[in-house]
Each structure stands twice: as C-alpha cells, then as structure tokens.
C-alpha cells in the first residue's frame, strides 16, 4: 500500500461491484475514496444525479461526473465509422471502445487529484480488467491499481452480505439481464448468452419494437462523418447518431449476438442492440464503394480490421493506432453524399447513394451495357498483357503436368 497517500480514485457506476469497492476501500482499507462516473452517452442527467446521491450516501470523500461523449466520438467512434469496423463482421465494438475512453478519463482524474491509488470494479473473468489496467499503467504508472472484486475473488452473494453488514440498502435483486448502454450501442447479457445455442428472448432487449411500417430515410455524410438525417442538420455528429438511434431502434433493428475471443483467451457471447451504429456503418460503406478506388477500399479493409482488433484488446494508446487513424481520415476526402435507407421491422436496406464524387459515372460507360472510354481492341490488348504471366506458367509447366498423369 502507498502509505504516504490515502487518496483513491474509483471508477464508479453505482452498481453492485463499484458500491462494494467504495465501502471496502473506505471502511476496510481506510482510504479516501473519490468516486468518478464517466458518461459516454449512456446516462441521462437524472441518472447521473441519482448515481451521485448513492455515492454520497456511501460516505465517499467526493463524487464527480464527467461527460466525455463528444471526446468519445472524436477520439474513437469516428475512426470506427471511417473503417467500417465490425468485430467478426458483426459487432460494432460498443463496450470495448467505450471502456478505453472511460479508463483514460479516470486516469486523467487521478493526475488531477494527485491520488496514490486508482480502483475499478472489474472481475477476473472479463476483458474490462485488462483494458483498465493497461491504460492506468501507461498514463499513471505511479498510482497503485486496486481491484477488490478480482483480487478477493468475490461472488455476488459475498458482496451483498458485506454491504448488508455495513448498512448499505439498495436493490440487491439481480436483474435478469445485464444492460450496458452507451452512444455506440447497448450490450445485453443473460443466461442465454452463457450458452452456445440460446438466443435472447424478446423481453431481454431494452427497446421494445413499436414501429411496424416501412420508413424511408436519408443520411448525409461529409468527408465520412454523419452530418444530417432526413435533411435535418446537426451541429455535432453525436447528436445525429442519437437522433438516428431514437428513430431506428423502435424497429428492432441492430439486434444480434456477438461471439468472439476475449483478451484473456476464452470465447464469449454478448447480445447487443445497435441500430444507429449498424445503419451508419453500412450506409457509409456503400458510399465508399461508390467514391473510393478498389485499392483504397482494399487497404482500408486490412488496416481497419487491425485497428478494430487492437482497440478491442485494450491497445488504444499504441502509437500505431494514431498512424492508422491518419490514414483512415485521409481516405475520407471524397466520401461525401447522401445515402438512402429503408427501415423495416427487425431489418434495414441501404438502397442507394447520391454523390458528386460517385465513380460509377455514365460518362465512362455502364457495366455490362456499353463503354465510351475504350475500344474492343484496347480490351484485347490489356487482357493479353494482364494474363501473360499466367499463360507463360501454364505453357512452361504443361509437360510436367502431363508426366504426373
């Protein structure tokens, strides 16, 4: 223990685990607990106020909340959009991206307060413990990391018993489903996601389906960023994302279960609903198909896959991430235009685009119909040259292939 400094910054959400940490660090370890809640778009003002009240009742030395939603977008989400990042072609990295930004905010608060300790409520069985620890080790290496739930290997029942002994009153009834809401999607965990074959039932999803008639919408992008929905302009892409989410989620769009490899080496499943992220990524990708060359698209795919994997594994601070971000941003210079989408219950269709940078221009020909930029003789020449190496290979090796037979 760092005996000369009794301050500890606790990443606090108000749930069971962080409530245990607040009491344990104060009553058992004798530390001065400074609780910090980092809002990445998942909490309303009322919810933040309620979390603050709960923290004060626990006897923390101070409570503070910081809203980093716009920073979350600027430092992370915009690059996930530029890269069309979907982990295992499915998951928009809703929680993994969010945790990195939260951890960085907590680390900055440790620097601000001069705390000798930093604590989080992660268990020893998930990804978040690694993400938090890696950020803290990089930004505040002088602060000792405290993880009571992980270190003591506590069960939920042990946590509840401890809190009751210390006079804490809260709703200890375990919710049937664990919900984590953020700007870039909401994760859903329950007994079904602990199996390999069960799907989440209708009542598990946070947003009930209330829209059942098809609706046509449009999304306007400028240099790869969403700026308007249905011709309604927003002063920041965060507001456009939130507007689209409110519009599309009641259709039940964006529901799925992600199966992936955790940082600690085991496989896991997590349900999620992410209407806006999936619509934005698919709309943005279609616009790119029209406005970028095939080699731009190819290299974007390679680097974006790496970027998404590295972010998922807690490596947001790796300098190669900044290098890839510069590349991704540079590719967006011509990714501007309007994308048309049809919303239906449980699905959506990206129907087409309009863009001044559309490379599918009739001035140069129509695929499968006609051309105006070359002749048949030109095509014969390029086919002969382009296939020359393959032709040489087969001519040289024709005899040896016959011998094998």
- Render pLDDT for 17-64 as a digit per residue (tens, 0 to 9): 999 999 999 999 999 999 999 999 989 999 999 999 999 999 999 999
Tens-place pLDDT, residues 341-359: 999 999 999 999 999 999 9
Among the listed residues 281, 278, 279, 256, the one whose alpha carbon sits nearest the alpha carbon of residue 269: 256
pLDDT of residue 285: 98
| Strand, helix or coil for residue 254 | coil
Q: If you ran DSSP here, which 8-state letter would residue 15 be given?
A: S
Q: Which ranges of the chain have pLDDT less than 50?
A: none
Q: How far from 127 is each of 76, 159, 194, 344, 380, CA to CA, in Å? A: 18, 21, 15, 34, 55
Q: If you ran DSSP here, which 8-state letter would residue 159 be given?
A: H
Q: Phi and psi (nearest 5°) for 307? A: -60, -45
pLDDT of residue 373: 74
Cβ atoms of residues 215 and 246 within 8 Å = no
pLDDT of residue 400: 66
Q: If you ran DSSP here, which 8-state letter would residue 167 be given?
A: T
Measure the CA–CA gap between 164 and 155, rounded to whole angstroms: 15
pLDDT of residue 180: 87
Pairing of strands 267-273, 185-189: antiparallel
Q: Which domains does the chain have, with CATH numbers?
A: 7-165 (3.40.50.620), 179-292+335-354 (3.90.1260.10), 362-393 (no CATH)
SS (H, E, C) 338-377: EEEEEEECCEEEEEEEECCCCCCCHHHCECCCECCCCCHH
pLDDT of residue 405: 59
Q: What does pTM read for this prediction?
A: 0.90
Measure the CA–CA gap between 297 and 327, rounded to whole angstroms: 12
Residue pointed to by tokens 């306007």:
220
Cβ atoms of residues 36 and 10 within 8 Å = yes
């Amino acid at each position: 223990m760092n005996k000369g400094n009794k301050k500890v910054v606790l990443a606090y959400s108000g749930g069971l685990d962080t409530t245990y940490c607040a009491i344990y660090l104060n009553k058992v370890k004798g530390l001065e607990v400074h609780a910090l809640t980092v809002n990445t778009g998942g909490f309303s003002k009322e919810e933040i106020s309620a979390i603050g009240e709960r923290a004060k009742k626990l006897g923390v030395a101070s409570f503070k909340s910081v809203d980093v939603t716009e920073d979350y977008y600027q430092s992370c989400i915009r690059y996930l959009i530029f890269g069309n990042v979907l982990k295992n072609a499915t998951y928009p990295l809703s929680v993994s991206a969010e945790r990195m930004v939260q951890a960085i905010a907590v680390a900055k608060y440790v620097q601000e307060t001069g705390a000798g300790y930093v604590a989080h409520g992660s268990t020893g069985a998930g990804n978040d413990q690694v993400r938090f620890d890696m950020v803290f080790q990089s930004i505040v290496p002088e602060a000792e990391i405290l993880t009571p739930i992980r270190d003591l290997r506590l069960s939920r029942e042990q946590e509840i018993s401890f809190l009751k002994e210390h006079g804490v009153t809260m709703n200890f009834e375990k919710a049937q489903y664990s919900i984590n809401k953020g700007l870039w999607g909401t994760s859903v965990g329950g007994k079904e996601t602990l199996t390999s074959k069960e799907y989440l039932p209708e009542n598990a999803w946070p947003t009930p389906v209330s829209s059942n008639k098809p609706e046509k919408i449009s999304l306007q992008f400028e240099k790869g960023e969403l700026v308007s929905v249905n011709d309604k302009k927003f002063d920041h892409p965060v507001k456009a994302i939130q507007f689209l989410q409110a519009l599309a989620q009641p259709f039940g769009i964006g529901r799925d279960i992600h199966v992936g490899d955790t940082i600690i080496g085991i496989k896991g499943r997590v349900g999620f609903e992410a209407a806006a992220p999936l619509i934005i990524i698919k709309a943005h990708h279609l616009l790119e198909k029209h406005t970028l060359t095939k080699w731009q698209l190819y290299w974007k795919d390679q680097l974006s896959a790496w970027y998404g994997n590295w972010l998922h594994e807690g490596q947001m601070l790796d300098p190669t991430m900044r290098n890839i971000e510069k590349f991704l941003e540079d590719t967006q210079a011509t990714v501007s235009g309007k994308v048309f989408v049809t919303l239906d219950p449980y699905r959506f269709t990206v129907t087409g685009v309009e863009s001044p940078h559309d490379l599918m221009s009739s001035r140069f020909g129509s695929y499968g119909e006609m051309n105006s930029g070359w002749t048949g003789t030109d095509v014969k020449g390029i086919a002969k040259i382009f296939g020359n190496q393959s032709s040489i290979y087969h001519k040289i090796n024709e005899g040896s292939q016959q011998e094998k037979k």
